[in-house]
Structure 1
Amino acid sequence: MVRLIGADAVAEAGYDVVEASSADEALTILQGAEEVHILFSDIRMPGTMDGLQLARIVHDRWPSIRIVLTSGDTFLQDRDVPDDGRFLAKPYRVDVLQRTITELAS
């Protein structure tokens, strides 16, 4: 449900959204994707790795992809997110998420 809210907010801001249910699925999608500009991920995810590990891999493999991480129980500073990414603590406001995505996309 939380993923749906975030995906809807990003789509409402005018961006195409591809959802993944785990970090493993996200990596599979990214390997076959032609053009991805931003990774928006929760830190707590099912699968073999969490969102922070996913962000590090994405940063290493696809350095042009900007990163936004979120969590309700793990708190980071923006400087802790790879690639000068951003961290949004939950609950975040939809307008803040949309503004953050827009800033990173430009």
Structure 2
Amino acid sequence: MGQSTPIGSKTVLVVEDEALLRFDIVDFFEERGWRVFEAGNSEEAIAILDRHGEIRVVLTDVQMPGDMDGLKLAHYVRERFPPTLLFVVSDQAPVTREALPARATFLPKPFDLHRVLRQIDRSEVHVPRT
């Protein structure tokens, strides 16, 4: 499945098993005009990604229930949907640069969603559009 929607599309998938935190992140993006999809685990996230090729940003927590943690999900997204902007977050020990997929950003919890938006804006300027 290819991605034909321009990278500049304001569509994000939030993958977070802590419901209250996920709701806060979803509200933040929706209040700024983003289309937001949400998942509580990697399996839900993959199903959403497979149905919605317009998703351009994935923000995932590392610690999640199920067979695939957020780091493995980030690698899956990078392989299957290469142009997607990836943010990997955790309140545990930092994820090393070597453990992250290419062009992914690690953010320790708590993180500043305004900073995330600035990083998205900067990244979109440097990504070639198809």
| TM-score, scaled to structure 2 | 0.72
> What 5-or-longer segments of structure 2 have no aligned partner?
1-19, 126-130
* Aligned partner of 2:49 among 30, 39, 47: 30
Residues in 1 aligned to 2:29 and 2:99: alpha-carbon distance in whole angstroms: 23
Over the matched positions of the two proteins, sequence identity in percent amounts to: 31
Count of equivalent residues: 106
Residues in 2 aligned to 1:38 and 1:79: alpha-carbon distance in whole angstroms: 21
Residues in 2 aligned to 1:26 and 1:8: alpha-carbon distance in whole angstroms: 18
Residues in 1 aligned to 2:114 and 2:51: alpha-carbon distance in whole angstroms: 30
Distance 1:14 1:53, change over 3 A: same
Per-residue CA deviation, residues 44-88 of structure 1 (Å, 9 max, x unaligned), is 111111100000011111111110111111312456421311111
> Based on CA coordinates, which of the two structures has the bigger radius of gyration?
2
Q: Which has more strand, going by share of residues? A: 2
Question: Map of 1:15-54 to 2, 5 A cutoff?
Answer: 15-54=34-73
Q: Which has more helix, going by share of residues? A: 1
* Aligned partner of 1:87 among 106, 111, 114: 106
> What 5-or-longer segments of structure 1 have no aligned partner?
none
* Aligned partner of 1:68 among 87, 90, 94: 87
- Root-mean-square deviation (CA), in Å? 1.8
